């Protein structure tokens, strides 16, 4: 587990979250809090409701019951763009970039919450949009340096390797200057070396910048190593919550992944 971070203020509070799709109960009465500087992992088998929780937090889904508060303000019924302006940023399980724009332009699009001109004006660099771009370029350049993607800055995203596209998507999320970052399987499909890079970026965001984050990731080794605390879900319910060493040995978590109580630490921590 990563180095401990002082947990003082509650950044995000989720209480009694319930989400239904027709007859399917996707999230059932889930409650948890995220503290300042904390990295919270959400784990569970496919279909457990993990991404649905993130979609409720950033406003893509409207829960039928429950309350969500961000920095002391209730946001349960606010639209996604308002939550983004408040400082909630995210990456997606399936990459959602602008494929025909360059890596630089995609990351720059994350600055829209801080801009006055349109995405088109910023993208083609003319008039007021050009002046606006110049005002925000320094922050974007810092992100490009941080993610070590300088050689790809002017390449169209559609032409980039998958692992680099994942970095660009993280860069766009960081360009929003988030106060809460939601990471939905940021390492899915990556090579071992690419995962190591992404883990290093996430650690630096937490330990150096103190950015509170929620991480969904299927690689249990990564989750156990990075997260301060883990929330385990199954069939839309929270089945366990606590530090990694407690979760990897929790019988309900083991049953959710393995269906039986064998290979306690090896089964869960090894990515079953």
Question: For the segment 5-29, what is each residue's pLDDT rounded down to a tens digit?
Answer: 444 489 999 999 999 998 899 999 9
Q: Which residues contact 161 (CB under 8 A, 6 or more apart)?
A: none
pLDDT digits (tens, 9 = 90+) for 207-235: 989 999 999 998 888 999 999 999 999 99
Do 194 and 75 belong to one domain? yes
Span 61-109, pLDDT tens digits: 999 999 999 999 999 999 999 999 999 999 998 888 999 999 999 998 8
**Which one has a higher pLDDT value, 118 or 156?**
156
Note whether 4 and 119 are same-domain residues: no
Distance between CA atoms of 94 and 49, rounded to whole angstroms? 16
Number of separate domains in the chain: 2
| Contact residues for 196 (Cβ-Cβ < 8 A; gap 6+) | none
Give the domain CATH number at 124.
3.40.50.300
Same domain, 159 and 184: no
Same domain for 54 and 119: no
Quote the CA–CA distance of 21 and 61 in Å, as a whole number.
Answer: 10
111 confidence band (pLDDT: 50, 70, 90): confident
What is the residue range of 68's domain? 1-87+178-272
Q: Which of 177, 196, 220 is the last residue of a domain?
A: 177
At residue 93, what are phi and psi to the nearest 5 degrees? -60, -45
CB atoms within 10 A of CB 232: 26
Domain boundary among 144, 177, 210: 177
Indicate if 80 and 117 belong to the same structural domain: no
- 74 and 182 share a domain? yes
| Residues 83, 190 within the same domain | yes
Contact between 151 and 182 under an 8 Å Cβ cutoff? The reply is no
Q: Mean pLDDT, the chain, as a whole number?
A: 87
CB 64: neighbour CB atoms within 10 A? 11
pLDDT of residue 133: 67
Question: Alpha carbon of 190 to those of 80, 214, 270, 272: distances in Å?
Answer: 28, 19, 17, 18
* Exposed/middle/buried for residue 21 (C-beta within 10 Å: 0-12, 13-18, 19+): exposed
How far is CA 48 from each of CA 52, 233, 245, rounded to the nearest angstrom? 9, 6, 21
Residue 249's φ and ψ, nearest 5 degrees, are -110, 10
Tokens 């602008």 found at: 98
Question: Pick the residue with more confidence: 41 or 122?
Answer: 41
Cα–Cα distances in Å, from 42 out to 121, 126, 146? Answer: 38, 43, 26
CB atoms within 10 A of CB 251: 11
pLDDT of residue 239: 96
Q: Are residues 64 and 196 in the same domain?
A: yes
Q: Is the pLDDT of residue 33 over 80?
A: yes
Same domain? For 190 and 272 the reply is yes
Pair 120, 242 in one domain = no
- Coil/strand/helix, residue 90: strand
Q: pTM for this structure? A: 0.85
Percent of the chain with pLDDT over 90: 72
3-class DSSP assignment, residue 190: coil
Q: How far apart are CA 220 and CA 58, in angstroms?
A: 24
Domain final residue, candidates 150, 177, 204: 177
Q: Which long-range CB contacts under 8 A does 130-134 form with residues at least 24 apart?
A: 133/108
Same domain for 61 and 1, yes or no, is: yes
Please check whether residues 4 and 129 belong to one and the same domain.
no
Percent of the chain surpassing pLDDT 70? 85
């Amino acid at each position: 587990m990563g180095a401990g971070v002082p947990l003082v203020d509650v950044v995000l509070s989720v209480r009694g979250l319930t989400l239904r799709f027709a007859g399917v109960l996707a999230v059932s009465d889930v409650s948890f809090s995220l503290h300042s500087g904390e990295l919270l992992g959400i784990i569970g088998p496919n279909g457990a409701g993990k991404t649905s929780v993130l979609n409720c937090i950033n406003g893509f889904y409207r829960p039928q019951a429950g309350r969500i508060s961000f920095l002391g303000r209730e946001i349960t019924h606010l639209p996604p763009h308002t939550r983004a302006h408040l400082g909630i940023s995210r990456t997606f399980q399936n990459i959602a970039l602008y494929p025909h724009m360059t890596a630089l332009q995609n990351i720059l699009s994350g600055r829209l919450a801080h801009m006055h001109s349109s995405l088109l004006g910023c993208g083609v660099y003319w008039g007021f949009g050009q002046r606006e771009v110049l005002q925000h370029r320094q922050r974007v350049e810092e992100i490009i340096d941080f993610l070590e993607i300088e050689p790809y800055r002017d390449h169209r995203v559609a032409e980039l390797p998958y692992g680099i596209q994942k970095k660009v998507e993280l860069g766009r999320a960081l360009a929003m200057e988030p106060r809460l970052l939601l990471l939905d399987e940021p390492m899915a499909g990556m090579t071992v070396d690419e995962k190591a890079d992404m883990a290093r970026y996430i650690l630096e965001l937490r330990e150096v910048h103190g950015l509170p984050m929620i991480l969904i990731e299927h690689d249990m080794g990564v989750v156990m190593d990075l997260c301060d605390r883990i929330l385990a879900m199954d069939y839309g319910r929270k089945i366990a919550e606590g530090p990694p060493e407690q979760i990897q040995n929790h019988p309900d978590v083991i049953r959710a992944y393995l269906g039986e109580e064998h290979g306690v630490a090896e089964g869960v921590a090894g990515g079953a």
